[in-house]
């Protein structure tokens, strides 16, 4: 045996109570699991009674470009994540069409200008090869993003595709599925996904169905329209005959119900025999750019154009009216603008308005004797897209309901970040990127026993693995890939805050990816043993 992890409390990932045992790793896989004190290897690590669990499988991340910038996958692997699924919320960096490359780069924002993000790929397969060629610390699998398909064919146009354009989107999706996409994702609150009809998505999911893939969705509204939006996702699954994963499904501020209501739709679908599950992350706030809450047709424009629109009193008034009208339901945080919840928006980063950093929009408006909308728009005029705020937009009660629901698994909705280099400049406020899994263990297992340890681990490992067909990961059984986390539950602490530099969590002591140690004693070993995972590419006969 290459390595033996001796004397651990083994959590198998399936929810069974831990047991005391040894585990042997050989050629990247788990070779044996046996009672403590019975296995010998070339190298034996006594884990001293710590917990040994499958590596965490984070099925909802946006690491698509950031992992090219940081192939060490710092913020992911340091919290015990050994697999990321990317291409979520409609956003994947491939396929790309030459004519719409500028739209695509604009869509991804500042990170698309980083030297590691070469944009040399065009097809989905070429992008996966780019991921593979430079090595990765963690495993990565990808969905095909609906927005990418749409941009490649019709740019950011706010209209339906012509029949020929829809054909081309189906061809590009077929190519992505052949290359190993796990399915297709949509982001129906973002441009250009918000311009797509249900029928367009069904037509595309019929391609996904032929490859036995999954449909995942950031649904068409997470607030006022959450029930209709979830019902649409479920209908798409039914009509296209694909399993459905509703992404980060907590109702956000402005929703007419708590999470029991949208979960009831999931329960009803499952009772009818429709394969629908959900995921969620456990942080109540998020730190996007202020521009992200503007109406979708405005967001598509260049920064200079947006500033010009906000300088003009007529278009400024119109944008304000559109935010309140919310015609294409905008993403969660925009609900705080619609409902005038200015005390829940705290400015985090605004290099040309330093005096307001750390203050809420409500406080700034009072100090300046100004309308809060004007404060908000003026900050964009002064700082362009370089102004971020913390939006406190989720009620923790909903997070608790979701965590406990049998159809809900745990994801971060974060991305690979690092407290150095571009990914820390400016530091995006994304606490889940650093502390999702330790945060669950610390707050909802140890401090307050909302979940048993075994159940929390299951929702981070075998359950998401099963969802994506990764049947040889997410469990500690002979034959499975040796993606393993060793942690000390007493010491696990999520240290993610909006203060800088960002902090890695504590208590995640050792992390193996494909049998290779990537984190040892809370330090990165520089190893890059991750694999690019490809989904089932077997097509059903037509």
Instruction: Write down the least CB distance from residue 156 to Zn ion, Å.
Output: 18
Q: 451: Cβ–Cβ under 8 A, 6 or more apart, which residues? A: 403, 404, 440, 444, 445, 459
CB atoms within 10 A of CB 257: 13
Residue 75 Cα distances to 101, 109, 221, 502, 507, angstroms: 29, 21, 29, 9, 14
Stretch that binds Zn ion, among 1-9, 87-95, 430-438, 442-450 (CB under 5 A): 87-95
The nearer residue to Zn ion, 54 or 292, going by C-beta atoms, is 292
Q: Shortest Cβ distance from residue 331 to Zn ion (Å)?
A: 7
Q: How far is the CB of 90 from Zn ion (least distance, A)?
A: 8
Residue 310 Cβ, how far from Zn ion at the closest point, in Å? 25
Which is nearer to Zn ion, 146 or 473 (by Cβ)? Answer: 146
Alpha-carbon distance 294 to 85, whole Å?
A: 28
Minimum Å gap between C-beta 248 and Zn ion is 6
283 contacts Zn ion (rule: CB under 5 A)? no
- How far apart, in whole angstroms, are the C-alpha atoms of residue 410 and residue 314? 44
Toward Zn ion, which CB reaches closer, 218 or 493?
218
SS3 34: strand
Q: Is residue 76 within the footprint of Zn ion (CB under 5 A)?
A: no
Smallest distance from the beta carbon of 87 to Zn ion, in angstroms?
Answer: 12
Would you say 89 or 255 has its CB closer to Zn ion?
89
- Closer residue to Zn ion in complex, CB, 143/356: 143
Q: How many CB atoms lie within 10 A of CB 325?
A: 10
**DSSP strand E in 444-540: where?**
484-487, 508-513, 516-520, 523-524, 532-533
Taking the CB of residue 103, how many other CB atoms lie within 10 A of it? 19
The candidate with the shortest Cα–Cα distance to 400, out of 227, 251, 293, is: 251
Are the C-beta atoms of residues 55 and 13 closer than 8 Å to each other? Answer: no
Shortest Å, Cβ 89 to Zn ion:
3
CB 27 within 8 A of CB 43: no
Task: Return all residues near 164 (Cβ < 8 A) that are at least 6 apart.
Answer: none
User: Between residues 218 and 415, which has the closer beta carbon with respect to Zn ion?
Assistant: 218
List the x/- string, 422-451, binding to Zn ion by CB under 5 A: ------------------------------
CB of 150 to Zn ion, least distance (A): 16
Name the residue nearer to Zn ion (CB basis): 89 or 348.
Answer: 89
Tokens of 425: 């400049």
Question: Between residues 50 and 150, which has the closer beta carbon with respect to Zn ion?
Answer: 150
- CA 238/CA 132 separation, integer angstroms: 35
Work out how close the CB of 384 gets to Zn ion at its nearest, in angstroms, rounded to a whole number: 23
Retrieve residue 24's tokens: 């042997």
* x-marked contacts with Zn ion along 196-225 as a string, rule CB under 5 A: ----------------------x-------
Strand 285-286 and strand 388-392: pairing? antiparallel
What's the closest the beta carbon of residue 254 comes to Zn ion, in angstroms? Answer: 16
Candidates 83-91, 109-117, 262-270, 351-359: pick the segment binding Zn ion (CB under 5 A). Answer: 83-91
Name which of 61 and 83 has its Cβ closer to Zn ion. Answer: 61
| Spatial contact of 90 and 218, defined as CB atoms under 8 Å apart | yes
- Residue closer to Zn ion by CB (options 72, 218) is 218
Cβ-based nearer residue to Zn ion, 59 or 89:
89
CA distance 246 to 219: 7
Smallest gap from Cβ 88 to Zn ion, in A, equals: 6
Contact status: 89 vs Zn ion (CB under 5 A): yes
Nearest partner of 508 among 76, 57, 28, 37, judged by Cα: 76
The token pair at 70 is 């940081």
Residue 321 neighbours by CB under 8 Å, 6+ apart? none
Nearer to Zn ion, 279 or 442 (CB): 279
Query: Shortest Cβ distance from residue 54 to Zn ion (Å)?
Result: 25
Q: Which residues contact 115 (CB under 8 A, 6 or more apart)?
A: none
Binding map of Zn ion across residues 164-203, x = CB under 5 A, - = no contact: ----------------------------------------
Q: Which is nearer to Zn ion, 248 or 524 (CB)?
A: 248
Closest approach, Cβ 255 to Zn ion, in A, equals 16
Query: CA-CA distance, 496 to 499, in Å (whole number)?
Result: 8
* C-beta neighbour count of 392 within 10 angstroms: 18
* Alpha-helix runs per DSSP H in 39-145: 66-69, 74-77, 101-108, 124-133
With CB under 5 A as the rule, give the number of residues binding Zn ion. Answer: 2
Which residues in this chain contact Zn ion in the complex, by CB under 5 A?
89, 218
């Amino acid at each position: 045996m290459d390595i033996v992890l001796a004397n651990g409390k083994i959590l198998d990932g399936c929810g069974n109570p831990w047991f005391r045992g040894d585990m042997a790793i050989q050629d990247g896989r788990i070779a044996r699991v046996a009672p403590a004190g019975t296995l010998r290897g070339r190298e034996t690590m006594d884990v001293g009674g710590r917990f040994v669990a499958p590596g965490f499988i984070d099925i909802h991340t946006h690491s698509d470009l950031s992992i090219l910038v940081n192939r060490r996958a710092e913020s992911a692997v340091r919290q015990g994540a050994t697999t990321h699924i990317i291409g979520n919320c409609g956003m994947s960096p491939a396929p790309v069409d030459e004519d719409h490359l500028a739209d695509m780069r604009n869509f991804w924002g500042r990170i698309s200008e980083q030297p590691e993000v070469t944009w040399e790929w065009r097809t989905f397969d070429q992008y996966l090869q780019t991921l593979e060629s430079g090595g990765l610390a963690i495993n990565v699998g990808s969905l095909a993003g609906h927005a990418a398909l749409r941009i490649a064919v019709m740019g950011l146009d706010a209209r339906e595709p012509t029949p020929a354009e829809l054909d081309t989107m189906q061809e590009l999706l077929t190519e992505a599925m052949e290359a190993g996409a796990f399915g297709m994702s949509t982001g129906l609150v973002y441009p250009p996904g918000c311009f797509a009809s249900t029928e367009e998505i069904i037509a595309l999911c019929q391609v996904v169905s032929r490859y036995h893939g999954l449909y995942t969705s950031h649904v068409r509204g997470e607030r006022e329209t959450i029930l209709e939006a979830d019902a649409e996702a479920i209908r798409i699954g039914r009509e296209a005959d694909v399993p459905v994963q509703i992404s980060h499904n907590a109702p956000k501020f402005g929703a007419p119900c708590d999470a029991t209501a949208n979960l009831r739709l999931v329960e009803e679908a499952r009772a009818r025999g429709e394969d629908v599950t959900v995921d969620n992350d456990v942080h109540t706030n998020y730190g996007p750019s202020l521009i992200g809450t503007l109406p979708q047709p405005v967001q598509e424009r260049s920064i200079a154009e947006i500033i010009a629109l906000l300088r003009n009193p007529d278009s400024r008034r119109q944008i304000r009216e559109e935010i309140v009208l919310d015609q294409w339901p905008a993403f969660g945080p925009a609900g705080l603008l619609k409902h005038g919840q200015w005390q829940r928006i705290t400015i985090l980063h605004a290099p040309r308005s330093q005096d307001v950093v750390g203050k809420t929009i409500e406080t700034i408006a009072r100090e300046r004797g100004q309308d809060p909308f004007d404060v908000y728009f003026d900050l964009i005029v002064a700082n362009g897209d370089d102004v971020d705020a913390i939006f406190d937009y989720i009620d923790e009660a909903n997070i608790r309901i979701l965590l406990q629901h049998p159809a809900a698994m745990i994801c971060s909705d974060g991305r690979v970040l690092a407290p150095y280099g571009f990914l820390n400049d400016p530091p995006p406020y994304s606490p889940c990127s650093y502390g999702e899994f330790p945060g669950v263990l610390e707050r909802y297992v140890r401090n307050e026993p909302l979940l048993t340890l075994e159940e929390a681990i299951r929702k981070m490992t075998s359950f998401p693995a099963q969802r994506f067909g990764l049947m040889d990961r997410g469990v500690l059984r002979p034959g499975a890939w040796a993606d393993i986390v060793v942690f000390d539950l007493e010491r696990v602490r999520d240290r993610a805050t909006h203060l800088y530099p960002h902090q890695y969590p504590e208590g995640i002591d050792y992390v193996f990816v494909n049998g290779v140690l990537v984190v040892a004693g809370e330090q990165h070993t520089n190893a890059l043993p991750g694999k690019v995972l490809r989904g089932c590419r077997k097509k059903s006969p037509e």
